[in-house]
Amino acid sequence: MARFGNNKKKAFVKPVMKKPKPGNVDHITGDKIPKSFVFSRGKLPGPLKQLEMDLRKLMLPYTALKLKEKKRNNLKDFLNVAGPMGVTHFLILSKTETAPYLRVARTPQGPTLTFKIKEYSLAADVAQAQLRPRSPKDLFQNPPLIVLSGFGTGEQHLKLTTIMFQNIFPAIDINTVKLASCQRIVLLNYNKETKLVDFRHYSIRLQPIGVSRRIRKFVQNHQVPDLRNLQDVSDFVTKAGYGSESEADDEAATVTLASDLGRVNQASSKSAVKLQEIGPRMTLQLVKVEEGLCSGVVIFNEYGNAADTKRQGKQKDAEDLEDVERDGDEGEEDQEDDEED
């Protein structure tokens, strides 16, 4: 008697492909949204520690604002954590005997840009120097825009600098971007003569043209104005000294809005673009570009080779730069000693 096997076909289960979370993908490029770690190597004085916190705040929302650091942590420790968290860039502060340094690196394989911090001002210093500091609650909910100026000289190290900073923040599509999300701007200006980079951080606000400051405050604050000393409500609008501000009528600084932005700035109306510095502020000098992550082939060195360094009297600067490179090595040695103990 013939035996018949089980002729039932096995069900084919289509494998489920895990899609990246929408919040982690740039809707313009399709790539992962750039994220960063801002940390230090070696011991930093108080002002530089505050500069580190200011830089973390600047890099919001795609950075670890409360990143914990330990003395025994080395570069590999941060790199091991960066992969699973999707971190694409490191901003590393360090201090030698003569100057502070900032390294900007792409993970996991570089390149690395090393900047000497010639001058810097903290965000608190910038705010203290202003009559009306501006810091809305939602100012850091969206990443800043990036503007680069003066880098188009054709030199390789400046091209790498341009690419690095262009990719450190998410790209924007001018056709779909929401105006409400454009609240901050980071400006880097390269001076060909001094070879210095001016690093500035501004907040953006729009001010309607032809509307007095008194009316703007009334609409924005939702408060009943004080009319006790006025004869008529029209005096509130036309009172001398509260007319349109002349500085807002500069045609070169005005835009026509495509959509409503808040209660005051309406679509199809003209508004003046106002930039207010919020810090931190830095003056940087690019001194070295390495192919790898804080290591590898040196693509650019401001101080040249050893012979050029001695001839130009820059031996101290070159030694200072070597101290910066040893920061990571010392951290690794400390960790190995702890493991042996």
pLDDT tens for each residue of 92-111 = 999 999 999 999 999 999 99
Q: Which pLDDT score, from 0 to 100, does residue 339 have?
A: 45
Residue 21 has pLDDT above 70, yes or no: no
Rounded to an integer, the average pLDDT of 122-141 is 91
Higher pLDDT, 15 or 255: 255
Which residue range(s) make up the domain with 83? 35-239+253-301
At 43, which CATH number? 3.40.50.10480
Residue 57 has pLDDT above 60, yes or no: yes
Whether residue 178 is contained in a domain is answered as yes
Considering the chain, what is the average pLDDT of its residues? 79
Rounded to an integer, the average pLDDT of 240-261 is 50
Where is average pLDDT lowest: 61-70, 154-163, 235-244, 260-269? 235-244
What string of H, E and C letters represents the secondary structure of the chain? Answer: CCCCCCCCCCCCCCCCCCCCCHHHECCCCCCECCCEEEEECCCCCHHHHHHHHHHHHHCCCCECCCCCCCCCCCHHHHHHHHHHHCCCEEEEEEECCCCEEEEEEECCCCCEEEEEEEEEECHHHHHHCCCCCCCCCCCCCCCCEEEEECCCCCCHHHHHHHHHHHCCCCCCCCCCCCHHHCCEEEEEEEECCCCEEEEEEEEEEEEECCCCHHHHHHHHHCCCCCCCCCCCHHHHHHCCCCCCCHHHHCHHHEEECCCCECCCECCCCEEEEEEEECCCEEEEEEEEEECCCCCCCEEEECCCCHHHHHHHCCHHHHHHHHHHHHHHHHHHHHHHHHHHC
Whether residue 307 is contained in a domain is answered as no
Rounded to an integer, the average pLDDT of 108-121 is 96
Q: Which pLDDT score, from 0 to 100, does residue 198 have?
A: 98
* Alpha carbons 164 and 100: distance in angstroms, whole number: 21
Whether residue 2 is contained in a domain is answered as no
Whether residue 226 is contained in a domain is answered as yes
Q: Which pLDDT score, from 0 to 100, does residue 260 have?
A: 58
Higher pLDDT, 59 or 175: 59
Q: Which pLDDT score, from 0 to 100, does residue 149 have?
A: 95
Whether residue 326 is contained in a domain is answered as no
* Alpha carbons 113 and 161: distance in angstroms, whole number: 7
Whether residue 127 is contained in a domain is answered as yes
Q: Which pLDDT score, from 0 to 100, does residue 40 have?
A: 95
Residue 154 has pLDDT above 70, yes or no: yes
Rounded to an integer, the average pLDDT of 136-145 is 92
State what percent of residues in the chain have pLDDT above 70: 64
Q: Which pLDDT score, from 0 to 100, does residue 338 have?
A: 44
Rounded to an integer, the average pLDDT of 128-138 is 87
Whether residue 320 is contained in a domain is answered as no
* Alpha carbons 101 and 48: distance in angstroms, whole number: 10
CB 88 within 8 A of CB 36: yes
pLDDT tens for each residue of 180-227 = 888 999 999 999 999 999 999 999 987 776 666 665 565 555 666 666
Whether residue 153 is contained in a domain is answered as yes
Higher pLDDT, 203 or 332: 203
Query: How many separate domains does the chain show?
Result: 1
Q: Which pLDDT score, from 0 to 100, does residue 270 have?
A: 74
For the ranges 30-34, 187-191, 331-335, the one whose mean pLDDT is highest: 187-191
Rounded to an integer, the average pLDDT of 297-305 is 88
